Amino acid sequence: MASSPRTRRRLVITALALGALGTAAIASGPVIAARPSAPVKPAPQRALAFATEFALNLSRSNFREGPIRLQIKNIGEDDHDVVISRPNGKVVARSRVIPSEGLGEVRVRLGPGRYRVWCSLTGHRAHGMETTIVVKKAPARRDRS
């Protein structure tokens, strides 16, 4: 096979280009394949709480165990806060005191169980600023191996 130097150079360039593509494919292949089995950090479950005199209304009352991000809007005229406690009274999280029209937040990681969500300002809980949330066990993770 008679090939001119120019043709040979073109073949070399083509081979180099294909080699580079091959390297790119190999480099990107394992990364894509690794993604599904990489440990997944669960995104926090979000919920909204509206606080007023005298009620605490949550956008949802059922969660899975794991991180929860509760955003609180005080739509009342008085200050309010939000406390999350176990049925035995042990407090697991609390917000700051939120002024009227203010926003607050509670970030907490909860295990399975029932929790009371309430306002700790004097008399507010007794007047009705209390609700219950239920946290269920997360479904068993499927092993991909």
Interacting residues with Cu ion (CB under 5 A): 80, 119, 121, 124, 129
Q: What is the DSSP letter of 74?
A: E
Select from 37, 57, 61, 38 the least CA-distant residue to 49.
Answer: 57
Structure tokens at 75: 């739509």
Q: Which is nearer to Cu ion, 4 or 122 (CB)?
A: 122
Q: Which is nearer to Cu ion, 80 or 110 (CB)?
A: 80
Q: Which is nearer to Cu ion, 45 or 120 (CB)?
A: 120
Distance CA 31, CA 35 (A): 6
Q: Other CB atoms closer than 10 Å to residue 26's CB: what's the count?
A: 9
Least Cβ distance, residue 125 to Cu ion (angstroms): 8
Least Cβ distance, residue 70 to Cu ion (angstroms): 15
H helix runs in 35-81, sequence order: none
Least Cβ distance, residue 45 to Cu ion (angstroms): 24
Q: Which is nearer to Cu ion, 75 or 108 (CB)?
A: 75
Element (H, E) at 111: none
Structure tokens at 9: 């150079």
Least Cβ distance, residue 124 to Cu ion (angstroms): 3
